[in-house]
Amino acid sequence: MLIRRPSDIPYSEVTSKNVYLSRRKFVAGVAVTGAALIADRLGREIVWPSLRVQAGTKLNVVRGPFSTDEKITPFDDVAHYNNFYEFGTDKEQPATLARNFRTSPWTVAVEGEVKKPKVFDINAIMKIAPLEERIYRHRCVEGWSIVVPWIGFPLNGLLKQVEPTSKAKFVAFESFYDPKQMPVARFAGISFPYLEGLRMDEAMHPLALLCMGMYGEVLPNQNGAPLRLVVPWKYGFKSIKSVVKIRLVGRQPPATWNLAAPREYGFYSNVNPNVDHPRWSQAKERRLGEFFKRKTLMFNGYADQVAQLYAGMDLRKYF
């Protein structure tokens, strides 16, 4: 992956403290418990293909579990420092080149080793479970990290809908790909559609989030609208964006970066400060916007939740 340092971000892209605080206030203000609320801030039901559902549309959310109380990275950093190679390999390219990306209508096919395969409309997916806000650490394999208030619900909520069979051992994910809308993708040096995979128990883990929004709003296109994965104990490239297909399978599925450079990017790619990338150390990371590096935590700080998934596994071999 191409590497750019946080210091490359122009100051103009950093949200002022006031803007950031008012966003936080809004999210706290709409936090409610109970019923599934798929509504905008006026309480009107959101219908995805409508023009109202653009980046900036507010979502009602319930407060979810597992959130960190670390300082949240400013929205503008998270929305202007992206890896989304379909829209360019420079960090600031996706925000511009994905601006007109058509995210509606949108469907996600969930199929394979399941009793009830189904093609879900995005509106139907948003009604499966209450939308939760979860503030997760997100660690990129390149050495930078962010703290993001994502909005979504556990991926297992969607998978349970299709009733996986006992043959389902892994879950394969596929991103949308359209060379017409993504003309620069052909210069990216990796193949598309972007592919990722999880083991079945990882996919069913309550930390693994099916994500439709961030900072109280629907996802900006460059962050993977309308629907992406967020797997916070793994390096960022496992968190596949703009998903259109989910296939439950018996064998370990192909994954884009693992295919491109298998010695550098393993299938598991759990955040692990003790296993270096062949070309750089993974012991430390730099939070976007901060000067000093901090120590990277095992499983990105989620060891209490996920370490048991890997009990007895040699994490140097299965990196």
Work out which of 140, 210, 211, 271 binds ligand MTE, going by CB under 6 A: 140
Contact segment (CB under 6 A) with ligand MTE among 56-64, 240-248, 288-296, 303-311 equals: 240-248
239 vs 296, beta carbon nearer ligand MTE: 239
Binding status of residue 106 toward ligand MTE by CB under 6 A: no
Of residues 208-237, which lie at the interface with ligand MTE (CB under 6 A)? 223-224, 236-237
Binding status of residue 145 toward ligand MTE by CB under 6 A: no
41 vs 277, beta carbon nearer ligand MTE: 277
Binding status of residue 245 toward ligand MTE by CB under 6 A: no
Residues paired with 146 in a beta bridge = 138
Of residues 8-67, which lie at the interface with ligand MTE (CB under 6 A)? none
Work out which of 73, 221, 242, 296 binds ligand MTE, going by CB under 6 A: 242
Contact segment (CB under 6 A) with ligand MTE among 7-15, 76-84, 115-123, 289-297 equals: 76-84
Work out which of 60, 73, 83, 221 binds ligand MTE, going by CB under 6 A: 83
Contact segment (CB under 6 A) with ligand MTE among 5-13, 15-23, 238-246, 264-272 equals: 238-246
Residues 6+ away with beta carbon under 8 Å from 195: 172, 173, 174, 175, 240, 253, 254, 255, 256, 259
Residue nearest to ligand MTE (CB): 236
Work out which of 170, 194, 265, 310 binds ligand MTE, going by CB under 6 A: 194
Work out which of 84, 150, 265, 299 binds ligand MTE, going by CB under 6 A: 84
Per residue, the 3-state secondary structure of the chain, as one string, reads: CCCCCHHHCCHHHCCCHHHHHHHHHHHHHHCCCCCCCCECCCCCECCCCCCCCCCCCECCCEECCCCCCCCCCCHHHHCCCCCCHHHCCCCCHHHHHCCCCCCCCCEEEEEECECCCEEEEHHHHHCCCCCEEEEEEEECCCCEEEEEEEEEEEHHHHHHHCCECCCCCEEEEEECCCCCCCHHHHHCCCCCCCEEEEEHHHHHCCCCEEEEEECCEECCHHHCCCCEEECCCECHHHCCCCEEEEEEECCCCCCHHHHHCCCCCCCCCECCCCCCECCECCCEEEECCCCCCEECCHHHHCHHHHHHHHCCCCCCCCC
Binding status of residue 151 toward ligand MTE by CB under 6 A: no
Residues 6+ away with beta carbon under 8 Å from 18: none
Contact segment (CB under 6 A) with ligand MTE among 84-92, 129-137, 204-212, 273-281 equals: 84-92
Binding status of residue 82 toward ligand MTE by CB under 6 A: yes
64 vs 220, beta carbon nearer ligand MTE: 220
Q: Which amino acid is at 243?
A: V
Whole-number minimum distance, CB 310 to ligand MTE, in Å? 21
- Interface contacts to ligand MTE, rule CB under 6 A: 1, 82-86, 140, 175, 194, 223-224, 236-237, 239-242
